[in-house]
Amino acid sequence: MKRTTSNADSTPTRRDDIPEHLKTFFSRQHPEFASIFEAVNALPIDDTHCHFITDRDAITTPQRYLERISLAGFPIASYFPDGVYAQWLTGDEEIKHALNQKYDIQRIVSGITSDIGESVFVKLLVKELAHFLGCEARLEAVIEARNERGKDYWSYINILFHDVNIANIMLETGVREGRGAKEFERFEEAILPCKSHRIARIETIQDELFQMNITFDEFERRFVERLLEVLDGNGNFGKRSFGMKSYLLPEIGLIRPLYDRGPAEASWIALRNSFDQRDKMDREEAGQITKDLCRYTFTLTLEECLKRDMPMQIHTGDGEAPWVILRNQDPFFLEEVCRFDKNNMMRMPKIIPLHAGYPSVGKAAWLSHLYPNCYFELSIMTPFVHQSLYQRYLQVMEAVPLSKILFASDTYHIPELYWLAGRWGKRYLAQALTDYVVGGSMDFEEAIEGARMILYKNNRRLYNLSLD
């Protein structure tokens, strides 16, 4: 059988590049796996949902690295009074000592990060990075070698992108860590020749306006004006957007589109009347006050996306507790959004539930199976599920057409997440596809074409991109 890869495919990883800890894994695979992996590993990647990297983690410590890479470490500042943890991180030894005496910060942080360090995810990460960086497979040695690379951090990031052949990213600009246009541009320059297309977040627009003591009519006017600037002009930190993202689901659960201005105006008035008390409210109470207002802005935004044939990404599944309400993030809570009924007709906007709906992967897959305009995106599950991605990918592909699956990482803070997602995603995708080839469901060429669709073709078609 003649086996080929497309002209877009790059040179595959050499067999002698396989780390020692993986040789047993490779030897246990079906003989067909080697040729499938070689072809899949050569393919370019489009990351359909990810975030920019700053240089604040160029030089780090083992403890800080674990905190920054783990979702469990993401909200450490929330375990202390507002501003205390930032003061502790940046303070001198005297300030750290005083804050430790009062808030027991070091013990709490050490407890969280030491548990993270005992995860299978980190143990595998250390082995992979040790091979890549040419050092001993201990976290301390990996961080030391990484810090050496961090002296030229932007070049290091470029090497990570090149190593797994990331060709394009859809960069969601809602996670900024206080940074702006200059920092976005610096990151995009660093990853060249990888191309970047930006996605804007609804909350970025509305949060600017929520602070203003204005009428609802004025709020609505300004919101639409900013939205159009983001979609059609340079309102996304100096560039246009190729789609939108919503973080509404974890705030309110079931999203029902709202066209009626009346409830939205009442919600705006309630927000204004409660503004001085919001810091004292629990997360559910605060979410209920703005619920109808946010449903209305969501609906306005989705209408504009539909007019432009632009996708809407929606945060689904995964975590970021304690900021979000985990029980609200069921993928089935997006059914009314997928329908987007008006005048007794479903209108099919492009909907992308994010993060594989993880851990409710089956629900997200079935939603994508049932609704032609609903897609399936693989981030967070990729790379955090690591070895079990093989089973998860099988679970997804048994329900979702290959033409609707989108590769993504949701990378934040740490650039190695881009690299790990690419490395592990290709490896375990090849393993899952091997099962289908061995079982007779697909032949070799169908499997590799399926990988092309998942890794880059579907993203380019969905966003109407041409990267040639």
Q: How far from 56 is each of 60, 116, 122, 198, CA to CA, in Å?
A: 9, 21, 21, 22
Grouping H, G, I as helix, E, B as strand and the rest as coil, residue 95 is helix
* pLDDT tens-digit readout, 211-243: 999 999 999 999 999 999 999 999 999 999 999
146, 133 in Cβ contact below 8 A?
yes
What's the alpha-carbon Rg for the chain, to the nearest Å? 23
Rounded Cα–Cα distance for residues 222 and 206 (Å)? 9
Residue 434 burial class via C-beta count within 10 angstroms: exposed 0-12, middle 13-18, buried 19 and up: buried
Give the model's confidence band at 392: pLDDT under 50 very low, under 70 low, under 90 confident, else very high. very high
Q: Which uninterrupted H or E stretch holds 338?
A: helix 335-339
Q: What angle do CA 219, 208, 337 make, to 5 degrees?
A: 70
Tokens of 98: 């005083």
Residues 162-175: pLDDT tens digits? Answer: 999 999 999 999 98
Q: Would you state the pLDDT for residue 23?
A: 87
Closest CA to 228 of 212, 219, 216, 241: 241
d(CA 312, CA 335): 14
Q: Are strands 341-342 and 345-346 parallel, antiparallel or unpaired?
A: antiparallel
DSSP 8-state class, residue 14:
P
Which amino acid is residue 421, in one-letter code?
A: A
Q: Where are the beta strands (DSSP E) in 137-246?
A: 166-172, 195-201, 244-246
| Residue 318 to residue 355: CA distance in whole angstroms | 7
Calculate the CA 311 to chain-centre distance.
15
pLDDT score of 5 more than 80? no
For residue 467, name the pLDDT band (cuts at 50, 70, 90): confident
Nearest-angstrom CA–CA distance, 210 and 271? 8
Q: How far apart are CA 301 and CA 294, in angstroms?
A: 10
DSSP 176: -
CA angle at 439 for the pair 379 and 12, rounded to the nearest 5°: 55
- Whether residue 458 contacts residue 405, with contact meaning beta carbons closer than 8 Å, is answered with yes
pLDDT at 319: 67
State in Å, rounded, how far the first CA of the chain is from the last one: 29
16-20, 109-113, 116-120, 247-251: the lowest-pLDDT one: 16-20
- φ and ψ of 329, to 5 deg: -100, 20
In this prediction, residue 195 carries a pLDDT of 98
Provide mean pLDDT across the span 27-42.
Answer: 95
Q: Are 454 and 429 a contacting pair, CB within 8 Å? A: yes
Is the pLDDT at 115 greater than 80, yes or no? yes
Question: Where are the strands (E) in 16-162, listed by range?
Answer: 45-50
The pLDDT score that the predictor gives to residue 463 is 98
For strand 376-377 and strand 45-50, is the pairing parallel, antiparallel, or unpaired? unpaired
* Residue 55 burial (C-beta neighbours within 10 Å; 0-12, 13-18, 19+): middle
Rounded to an integer, the average pLDDT of 30-57 is 96
Tell me how long the chain is.
Answer: 468
Average pLDDT in the chain: 93
Average pLDDT over residues 305-326: 88
The whole-angstrom separation of Cα 106 and Cα 465 is 48
